[in-house]
Amino acid sequence: MHILVSNDDGILAHGIGLLAEVCRVAGRVTVVAPDREQSGASHSLTLQRPLRPVQRGADTYQVDGTPTDCVLLALGALLDAKPDFLFSGINHGPNMGEDVLYSGTVAAAMEGLSAGIPGVAVSFAGQEIELLDTHRAWLERLVHDIVDVHGFPDATLLNVNLPPIPGEEIRGIRVTTLGSRVFEASILPGKDPWGRPVYWVGGGHISWSGREDSDFRAVREGFISVTPLHLDLTNYALLEAVGAWRLGE
């Protein structure tokens, strides 16, 4: 068993260190991750300059690029064979609902998926990163259960969110759907040292909604959320309706 591990918080993040340790219980692990934080990078690529991987030890590389760059470089240049699984994370913060569209953590898993590698994105839905160490037993159980699945579904990745509580208080694991969140007052205006207007993106108040089996509800109630995702964004229910518009005729 060979597992590729990446993230978007950077090679020095606590989460990726713990994830790599947990995955080593299941097999050989190669870590290829950005040299700095790339939160919000989504599926972006570095196309205007070359990438320079630096080896930091046995089976560990840092890359001056995005999470997607890291996976592409790992598969195309750094690994001697395609890995069996790709685990991305553990992200320092949640990736639920529409977050999956912005998340570099999820994008790394998606990039592996596009190459035919089963992907798993793991995030911690809290700020007290030291609590992650108390989740080790749950993480080991999850990794073992996932890699032992025979016939892992094609074109599918698992988006995992850990609740922001000590591991011994976790109530179990729920398979969930994506919730929906709305940012309010997410643009913070200010001025630079020369008095020119600047704007920070992010922050503000978040409102959540969704079905009873939504990811945010599971995490809020003390469960680990596991959401199956796929790459096909086609709205099949509307194919016939949009076709009836007779566009271009």
Alpha-helical (H) ranges within the chain are 14-23, 67-73, 99-102, 104-114, 136-147, 215-220, 239-243
Residue type, 148: D
pLDDT in tens, 23-59: 999 999 999 999 998 887 888 898 999 999 999 988 9
pLDDT in tens, 203-245: 666 777 788 999 999 999 999 999 999 988 899 999 989 989 9
Sorted by where each starts, the structural domains of the chain and their CATH numbers stand as 2-179+211-243 (3.40.1210.10)
Provide the whole-model pTM: 0.92
H/E element, 161: strand 157-162
User: Following CA atoms 91, 94, 97, 98 in sequence, which dihedral angle do they give, to the nearest 10 degrees?
Assistant: -60
Q: How far apart are CA 139 and CA 173, in angstroms?
A: 11
Reference 177, options 161, 165, 164; nearest CA is 161
Task: Quickly state the pLDDT bin for 200 (edges 50, 70, 90).
Answer: confident
For 244, residues 6+ apart whose C-beta sits below 8 A from its C-beta are none
User: What is the Cα Rg of the chain in Å?
Assistant: 19
Residue 221 has a pLDDT of 97
